Amino acid sequence: MAANYRLAQRHGESRSVVRIGAVTFGDGRFTLVGGPCSIESAEQIGRAAQGVRAAGGAMLRGGAYKPRTSPYDFQGLGDEGLPLIAEAGARAGLPVVVEALAVTQVPLVARFADMIQIGARNMQNVPLLRAAALTGRPILLKRGPSATLDELLLAAEYVLLEGNERVVLCERGIRGFDPETRNVCDLAGALRLRELTHLPVILDPSHASGRRSLIEPLTLAAAAAGLDGAIVEVHPNPREARCDAQQAIDLTEFERLAARVRAVRAVLEEVLEPAVSA
């Protein structure tokens, strides 16, 4: 049976490369995005940006509007966070990705961010997908915690149908039954996605596991398996993070992670055939 999605469907061996300035997703490299769950202050996001840059990260992440499970938890700085991350990214020479939670936030996010994230909770929010797509900004589309790969690809199809071809898909863990890990990291699903679509696929090991100790090994697994990159929660002082503190690594840990990713990719390129062809 032919796939329901058409524009996202993979034909033959050719893969899409998504470009954001000098940053690329899908060209055979493993693109590392790092930054805090939420933007907290100019100092915090500035230090994160410098650390991500120094480690060799390609892009800065940070949320201004946080989709928290509890309404009593920190909801993010809102509009005020956007200029802070834009400036931190510009100083570090890193493009930035920020989530838009609602259609009304899209114009401002598009003004300050180089890429718009559509979060897991909003994967099937069709008006939001369309509004984000129409800005022309590249879209980071996260898989919903209970979404099938088919549903994720159909969500991507909404963006592609608006004429916006710059879509990066992100596996961030799906709902399981065991609270030992926050979610179930569906690495097999992410690899299967790369068979189904030409779009780049990256992993978010922070939300997938909910545990800082698992971020490095999961990222290395993704790099070894041939995914196109990872988006990692990095905070200058993780234990004081106002959001997702337990799943953020510090700048030194991010530097080690980036070095190990490079080592894994070098082995793949020089010694072994890549597990998944670029």
Q: Give contact residues for ligand PEP (rule: CB under 6 A).
A: 37, 63, 67, 119-121, 142, 172, 204, 207
Q: Which residue is nearest to Mn ion (CB)?
A: 37
- Compare residues 47 and 142 and give the one whose CB is closer to ligand PEP: 142
Which residue blocks in the chain are alpha helix, DSSP H? 42-55, 81-92, 106-112, 126-134, 149-161, 187-196, 205-209, 212-225, 251-270
- Compare residues 15 and 229 and give the one whose CB is closer to ligand PEP: 229
Collapsing DSSP to helix, strand or coil, 33 comes out as strand
- Compare residues 56 and 67 and give the one whose CB is closer to ligand PEP: 67
The distance of closest approach from Cβ of residue 119 to ligand PEP in the complex, given in angstroms and rounded to an integer, is: 3
Q: How many CB atoms lie within 10 A of CB 97?
A: 27
DSSP 144: P
| Residue 64 near Mn ion by CB under 5 A | no
Mark 63-75 as b/e (b = at least 16 C-beta within 10 Å). Answer: bbbbeeeeeeeeb
The distance of closest approach from Cβ of residue 17 to ligand PEP in the complex, given in angstroms and rounded to an integer, is: 23
User: How far is the CA of 197 from the CAs of 26, 184, 191, in angstroms?
Assistant: 12, 22, 10
- Compare residues 7 and 184 and give the one whose CB is closer to Mn ion: 184
| Residue 129 near Mn ion by CB under 5 A | no
CA 72 to chain CA centroid, nearest Å: 26
Calpha distance 206→213 (Å, rounded): 10
CA 156 to chain CA centroid, nearest Å: 14
| Residue 171 near Mn ion by CB under 5 A | no
Find the binding residues for Mn ion in span 242-261 (CB under 5 A): 244
Element (H, E) at 20: strand 18-20
- Compare residues 138 and 268 and give the one whose CB is closer to ligand PEP: 138
Q: Which residues contact 98 (CB under 8 A, 6 or more apart)?
A: 61, 62, 63, 64, 81, 82, 85, 109, 112, 113, 115, 116, 117
Q: Which residue is nearest to ligand PEP (CB)?
A: 119
| Residue 186 near Mn ion by CB under 5 A | no
Half-sphere exposure (Cβ direction) of 90: Cα atoms closer than 13 Å: 9
- Compare residues 173 and 226 and give the one whose CB is closer to Mn ion: 173
| Residue 99 near Mn ion by CB under 5 A | no
The distance of closest approach from Cβ of residue 32 to Mn ion in the complex, given in angstroms and rounded to an integer, is: 16
| Residue 37 near Mn ion by CB under 5 A | yes
Q: Which partner, ligand PEP, Mn ion, none, binds residue 142 by CB below 5 to 8 Å per kind? A: ligand PEP
| Residue 216 near Mn ion by CB under 5 A | no
# binding residues, Mn ion (CB under 5 A): 2
- Interface residues with Mn ion (CB under 5 A) are 37, 244
